[in-house]
């Protein structure tokens, strides 16, 4: 073993026991380790901050997209409500028109009974029933 120590001493290396202090190469290793650890912590902090900012921006974009989508869906619902409203009123208008036509036809049949000879009592009663039903329907429609 003494040989090794001599070989190292011959190359300018001394053990820390022999010199009584830490060699300069050891303090350089410690300094490099501290610098590396510090830079790693700084890089990790910067990465975490960047990730946080990207996440916040992503969340804001998601909220904005959801808000716009909600507006689109609301517009679709309003358009559908308008379409159904118009369809209902168109159906209602069509029904009233058919009811008025039925009433006018029944009134015309009743008016012609006095002018056309040979109308049976059954035909007159049937025409009178149709007229009264049409009149009742008109009263119901007009009360809406």
Mean pLDDT computed over 13-25? 53
DSSP state of 1: -
Indicate the helix (H) or strand (E) that contains 122: helix 121-142
Q: Please give the Cα distance from 78 to 53 (Å, whole number).
A: 37
Q: Please give the Cα distance from 43 to 51 (Å, whole number).
A: 12
pTM of the prediction?
0.42
Domain map (residue ranges) of the chain: 21-142
Helix 121-142 / helix 24-112 crossing angle, nearest 10 deg: 140
Q: Please give the Cα distance from 85 to 91 (Å, whole number).
A: 10
Is pLDDT at 74 greater than 50 in this prediction?
yes
Please give the mean pLDDT across all residues of the chain.
80
Q: Which range (33-42, 87-96, 117-126, 131-140) has the least confidence?
A: 117-126
Q: Please give the Cα distance from 79 to 14 (Å, whole number).
A: 90
Residues contacting 87, CB < 8 A, separation 6+: none
Is pLDDT at 144 greater than 60 in this prediction?
yes
Q: Which range (9-13, 64-68, 97-101, 125-129) has the least confidence?
A: 9-13
């Amino acid at each position: 073993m003494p040989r090794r120590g001599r070989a190292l001493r011959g190359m300018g290396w001394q053990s820390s026991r022999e010199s009584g202090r830490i060699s300069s190469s050891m303090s350089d290793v410690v300094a490099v380790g501290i610098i590396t650890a510090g830079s790693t912590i700084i890089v990790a902090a910067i990465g975490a901050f960047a990730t946080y900012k990207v996440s916040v921006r992503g969340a804001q974009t998601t909220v904005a997209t959801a808000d716009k989508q909600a507006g689109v869906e609301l517009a679709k619902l309003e358009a559908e409500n308008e379409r159904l409203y118009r369809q209902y009123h168109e159906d209602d208008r069509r029904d009233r028109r058919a009811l008025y036509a039925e009433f006018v036809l029944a009134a015309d049949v009743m008016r012609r009974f006095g002018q056309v000879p040979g109308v049976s009592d059954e035909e007159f009663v049937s025409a009178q029933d149709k007229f009264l039903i049409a009149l009742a329907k008109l009263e119901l429609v007009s009360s809406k």
